[in-house]
Amino acid sequence: MIIYTVQKGDSLYSIARRYGVSWQGIAQDNLLADPSALVVGQTLTILQPETTYTVRPGDTLYSIAQSLGVSVNQLFRNNIILGGTTDIRPGQILNVQLPSPTRGSMSVNGYAYPFIDRATLMRALPYLTYLTIFTYGIRPDGSLIEPEDGPLIDVARMYGVAPVMHLSTLTEQGRFSNALARQILNDATLRARVIDNVRQVLSRKPYVGVDVDFEYVGGENADAYAAFLRQMREALEPLGYQVWVALAPKVRGNQEGILYEGHDYAALGDIADRSLLMTYEWGYTYGPPLAVSPINQVRRVLDYGVSVISPEKIFLGVPNYGYDWTLPYVAGQSRARSLGNVEATELAWQQKAAISFDETAQAPTFRYYVRNGGSTEHEVWFEDARSVQSMLSLVSEYGLYGIGIWNIMRRFPQMWQVLNSEYSINKVLQ
């Protein structure tokens, strides 16, 4: 796969001719709504298949896969235009074999809310090992706030993707509560009730385990949190379930701040089967304009993380979104707008803005002006094929278990293309 950065004067036709592929194929692989709407600095993924197949009358995707000795999932992954569906038409050219992945294999976890658009979900599932459904909250009495997760569990398993239960201190008002975390972690009766309620959910729904995500725990509760996670694992491991934990992006053990102090990497990482390092949100809603996951900062977290947690237990957090800030940024007042990566590129086109790439952060960015009775400047940071490639390279470099994508609610075809090109994707369901 080639990652091409659009230059001034380029057209899809000229790019295709340069690489000996069809412009229609590039448009399909990048899900371009308007093939003529190219932005200077925009990335395009260009596939160069080793073998293809032209659909004939009477073919089905299953019969094609069987006759060619490949899996339907492989055809899904190599042909993003299928959208994870079996709909094909005579004359359609399918990619059968792409060059072998260059970086080995890994596991991929995607987070999704129950209300995810079904087409977006189906497009993502062929690239996932796990689907974690956000979230089971906890009430003060230890009962669980249960999401409408049944349909997602069913469709995940249809695609051979293992569903994972997500447990958090998210309240019914939709916010993480440090008071709720403190209450649960320091009350033996509540801890036991929460764990038993998790066990009951796992006994009646075909989840493979639980991902525990207590945020804003506070340093005074660090030991209690580790004890709670250990108690959770002791209850669930004999039943065959995994216990994961989500960890704030720390760069040292004694890092200050309510987001970090309650997460003892060494203790929690030792107890849990897997640990997600939430390596995103340097650029965030209320902060100054920054890349969401600047690679130099991500490396600092990984350097510390692998020093106290076995690398083969670690999921690297990968963002699937960006932010649009209105300038000037004013601390305590400014609020950035979240946007998808495809949306960001479309915004650059609409605003006639060229995209640049920050080599330090390894992330794309651009600025534009809105003129409405004045002139307001905006700054946008987001992800593209280059930034994804940079993040994914860390998995093989550090020997990690895989990645956890927060989240898969927005379409981002280039992420799937880069992932499919560089890694084989592990499957845990038979």
> For 40-66, what is each residue's pLDDT tens digit?
999 999 999 999 999 999 999 999 999
What domains can be seen in the chain, in order of their start residue? 2-97 (3.10.350.10), 105-321+384-425 (3.20.20.80), 325-380 (3.10.50.10)
Which DSSP symbol is given to 170? B
* Strand-pair category, 2-5 with 43-46: antiparallel
Beta-carbon contacts of 18 under 8 Å, excluding residues fewer than 6 positions away, are none
State pLDDT tens for residues 382-422. Answer: 999 999 999 999 999 999 999 999 999 999 999 999 999 99
| Residue of 103, 151, 105, 101 lying closest to 131 (CA atoms) | 151
Which of these is catalytic: 50, 148, 172, 215?
215
Number of residues in the chain: 430
Angle between helices 222-236 and 178-185 (to 10 degrees): 60
Q: What is the mean pLDDT of residues 82-95?
A: 96
CA 424 to chain centroid, in Å, comes to 16
User: What pTM was estimated for this model as a whole?
Assistant: 0.97
State pLDDT tens for residues 288-326. Answer: 999 999 999 999 999 999 999 999 999 999 999 999 999
Catalytic, 383? Answer no
